[in-house]
Amino acid sequence: MKIPAVKGTRDFYPPQMAVRNYLVDGWKAVSLRNGFEEYDGPIFEHLKMYQIKSGEEIASQLFSFTDRGGRDMAIRPEITPTLARMVNQQINALPRPIKWFSVPRLCRAERPQKGRLREFFQWNIDIIDVEDVLADAEVIFTAIDYLRSTGLTAADIAVRISSRRMLAALLRSAGIEQDQLDGVYAVLDKKAKLPDEAFEAMLTERIGDETVRRRVAELMAAETIEAIENTAHLDAEGAAAVGELRRLFDLLSLMGIGEFAVFDIGVVRGLAYYTGVVFEVYDRAATLRAVCGGGRYDNLLRDFGGPAVTATGFGMGDAVLEILLREKGLLTDSTLSTRNVDCFVAIVADEFRDRAIELVFRVRRAGACAEFSYKAAGLKKQLKQAQALNARYTVIVGEEFSENRLTVKNMATGEQELMAVEQCIESLLA
């Protein structure tokens, strides 16, 4: 019986796994040097958790099921609700501020397409209980710090930044009611992703009044923070939001990543829970989906039954990132090794086989990687095997082994040397 692979998911054969490990290891290292601690939750959660604040798009893409106890569950499509649940559970015991990261496996029942898969990995960074925009700057820095570590520069990518808080003030001044805001955000978030006509139709559906709609369109055409200050009727709340945004750009310069930062009022984010600064990282050519997106979500913990504690963070998926790195020539399969063989133990004749096996496993017990051929083969064939495994050395077990000596061949230089067994093991571990 033949079983097909699962639609929209990936099989990670060793070369693909090496790519995934390269991305994940980089995420982890940058998280740690920026002072974040790792956490994780279960792969599935109660379905209703994703029906509260995840936004319509995610809620419509859940892999859900009913467990034996009759409970409705869903495979996690994002980890932020889990984060909110976990923090709320331990809110009185956890030292604050909380700086956490995670690299969850997530599933969404989307139509598979370039950069969008039904199963993917997403780096998440969050700072909880720091109201200061300094925390927003820090999460943006962390995203850029990682992307720079892969070799990407400000010529390749930019972080486009706006503020939901500012946008809310602007939309209210244009005549949008408070309870319409979430719906309007969802549509505005689609602007760059839809053909103009489709976007107009969606916007018209949400905003019936043509005057209001025209005012919103004018607002969304602002190209700089100055333009907003000059044209819009900002109330005190709006002015405070603009001030915060200015401070954010100053901080990013101070942190040494100013050249990556761009103001873009068109960045709205689809998720319902954002309340302040929002941002997305794009390739400068903007041919791909966002590499990374995030922002401030000050009400989520409260919405999940916890105290009113502020939060800010982002998510970066592996799919678009991998495409971008490959396009820029920063990721090639051949640069990533799937194994690290220190020595291949070649056996000259069958009488030495058990001695060779003994040696292989002695080397491994000592902490180095040794390989050998399961089948008897000529020395030439074994040297080829050693080469295929990319072994640093080949150790040849022959007549000299009775005198406790081995021939050691350096596979890079081709040099051969007769060595005592102990000396050989020591130099492999060095």
Residues from 389 through 408 that contact a copy of itself (CB under 8 A)? 389
Site membership for a copy of itself, residue 11 (CB under 8 A) = yes
Q: Which of residues 192-221 bind a copy of itself (CB under 8 A)?
A: none
> How far is 19 from 338, CA to CA, in rounded Å?
9
Least Å from the CB of residue 73 to a copy of itself: 7
Please check whether residue 197 is in contact with residue 234, taking contact to mean a CB–CB distance below 8 angstroms.
no
Using the contact rule CB under 8 A, the part of the chain among 10-18, 178-186, 187-195, 320-328 near a copy of itself is 10-18
Reduced to 3 states (helix: H, G, I; strand: E, B; else coil), residue 321 is helix
Least Å from the CB of residue 286 to a copy of itself: 26
> How far is 189 from 176, CA to CA, in rounded Å?
16
Reduced to 3 states (helix: H, G, I; strand: E, B; else coil), residue 236 is helix
Q: Which of residues 141-180 bind a copy of itself (CB under 8 A)?
A: 141, 145, 148
Positive or negative CA dihedral for 67, 72, 78, 79? negative
Q: Which of residues 219-278 bind a copy of itself (CB under 8 A)?
A: 251, 254-256
> Within 10 Å of residue 427's Cβ, how many Cβ atoms?
15
Candidate residues 91, 336, 357, 377; the one interacting with a copy of itself per rule CB under 8 A: 357
Q: Which of residues 365-384 bind a copy of itself (CB under 8 A)?
A: 365, 367-371, 374-375
> How far is 282 from 289, CA to CA, in rounded Å?
7
Candidate residues 22, 63, 199, 249; the one interacting with a copy of itself per rule CB under 8 A: 63
CA 163 remoteness from chain centre = 22
Site membership for a copy of itself, residue 340 (CB under 8 A) = yes
Using the contact rule CB under 8 A, the part of the chain among 89-97, 202-210, 223-231, 233-241 near a copy of itself is 89-97
Backbone angles phi, psi at 211, to 5 degrees: -60, -45
> Within 10 Å of residue 181's Cβ, how many Cβ atoms?
16
Contact track, a copy of itself, 33-62, x by CB under 8 A: xxxxxxxxxxxxxx-xx--x----------
Site membership for a copy of itself, residue 21 (CB under 8 A) = yes
Amino acid at 411: M
Q: Which of residues 98-117 bind a copy of itself (CB under 8 A)?
A: 100, 105, 107, 109
Chain length of the chain: 430
> How far is 231 from 198, CA to CA, in rounded Å?
28
Least Å from the CB of residue 240 to a copy of itself: 19
Backbone angles phi, psi at 418, to 5 degrees: -90, 130
Using the contact rule CB under 8 A, the part of the chain among 12-20, 234-242, 259-267, 313-321 near a copy of itself is 12-20
Least Å from the CB of residue 399 to a copy of itself: 20
Q: Which residues contact 392 (CB under 8 A, 6 or more apart)?
A: 341, 342, 343, 410, 411, 412
Residue number with CB closer to a copy of itself (177 or 354)? 354
